[in-house]
Chain A
Amino acid sequence: SQQGEEDPQALSIQEGENATMNCSYKTSINNLQWYRQNSGRGLVHLILIRSNEREKHSGRLRVTLDTSKKSSSLLITASRAADTASYFCATDMSGSEKLVFGKGTKLTVNP
């Protein structure tokens, strides 16, 4: 059973534009994490937001969490070609120590 689901599945933008990806989940969580995966590589952790937090920033990344809507968004500002990758949200379920990943959003940033 899939816990997190990203939207859109694919996103293509021009360099300099902002990219927004969304993640919805089904059950209550302890925290939500976002990861990036470059083609053919492993995942790299970007940011973790706890269930009692509403917003978090890291460099050009901004993550929001709305537990009432069971959703999160990842905003990448002033995108660069190097941001081209797939982005995954990962959630746990309260009481579980296992992370469940969504299918990801494939972001293409055109130079």
Chain B
Amino acid sequence: EADIYQTPRYLVIGTGKKITLECSQTMGHDKMYWYQQDPGMELHLIHYSYGVNSTEKGDLSSESTVSRIRTEHFPLTLESARPSHTSQYLCASSSTLLRVYNSPLHFGNGTRLTVT
């Protein structure tokens, strides 16, 4: 049902490795977001973008970085993974064309990251 795609779905990686979580959407949405969610817990916004070449940090401090070179693509990178980064990472997008303040978010199915 999602027009927003995240890869990989699951990733198990050793400490110190560099990783990039991919997120792409085909809806032409200008806004994109990365949320971090531990099992059974709330979502925390870690990064967002309002368009190409626009990126902002969210409410939860994160050692990850993001880029927005193309409208449809919003990858998240961890330069050196640590066990504390183990979590689920959810990418989302929304459109401003609906003229609704904070229009609904479309989510991908997430990447479950485990750092050993």
Contacts and interface: CB of A to CB of B under 8 A. Distances in A.
Given A30-B101, A88-B43, A97-B102, A44 B59 contact: no
Contact of B101 (A40, A86, A92, A101): A92
A99 interface: yes
Given A42-B107, A101-B43, A30 B102 contact: yes
A98 B59 contact: yes
A41 interface: yes
Interface in A31-77: 31, 33, 35, 40-45, 48, 50
Interface of B: 1-2, 4, 6, 31, 35, 40-43, 45, 48, 50, 58-59, 90, 92, 100-110, 112
Interface of A: 2, 30-31, 33, 35, 40-45, 48, 50, 86, 88, 90, 92, 97-104, 106
